Amino acid sequence: MPHIHDLLGQVKENFKVGLATNSRHREVDIIFEKLGFDGYFDIRLARDNVKNVKPHPEIYLKGAGIFGVDPSECVVFEDSIVGITAAKSAGMKCVAIINTYSAEDLKDADMQIESYRDITVEKIKALGKHNPL
């Protein structure tokens, strides 16, 4: 994931940051350790924390509730079709990262990027404020 640490550092300085994944907590812990993600996220939600996994929006709505923000203020980064469906169903904006799926598969996202270098804090803020890019 080239440039992910640069982006996470900038995002963490400007926003509350949460992880919402269909993986289990034990898998998340392994990934966080290997990738050095510990200091970047305020919360981690995994499939162990919800009754309904993505594409159901429960995990995203739970995260917004923990942060005390309206779902419409949230911007989700996703690389899967079920994740985009969950984010949009929750009323959140979504940035699709094109890697496993094609741009066409991820067309329901509000924005698509091919690299974490393609997104800025300003673009994230604009999405969260309902401004078209």
The pLDDT score that the predictor gives to residue 130 is 54
The pLDDT score that the predictor gives to residue 26 is 98
Cα dist from 78 to 58, 61, whole Å:
15, 15
The pLDDT score that the predictor gives to residue 84 is 98
Is 132 a residue whose pLDDT tops 50?
no
Q: pTM above 0.75?
A: yes
The stretch 10-37 carries a mean pLDDT of 97
Quick: pLDDT tens for 92-126.
999 999 999 999 999 999 999 999 999 999 999 99
Mean pLDDT across the chain: 94
Q: How far is 133 from 124, CA to CA, in rounded Å?
A: 10
Q: Which residue has the higher pLDDT, 1 or 65?
A: 65
- Domains of the chain are 4-127 (3.40.50.1000)
Residue 66 three-state SS: helix
Q: How far is 121 from 67, CA to CA, in rounded Å?
A: 19
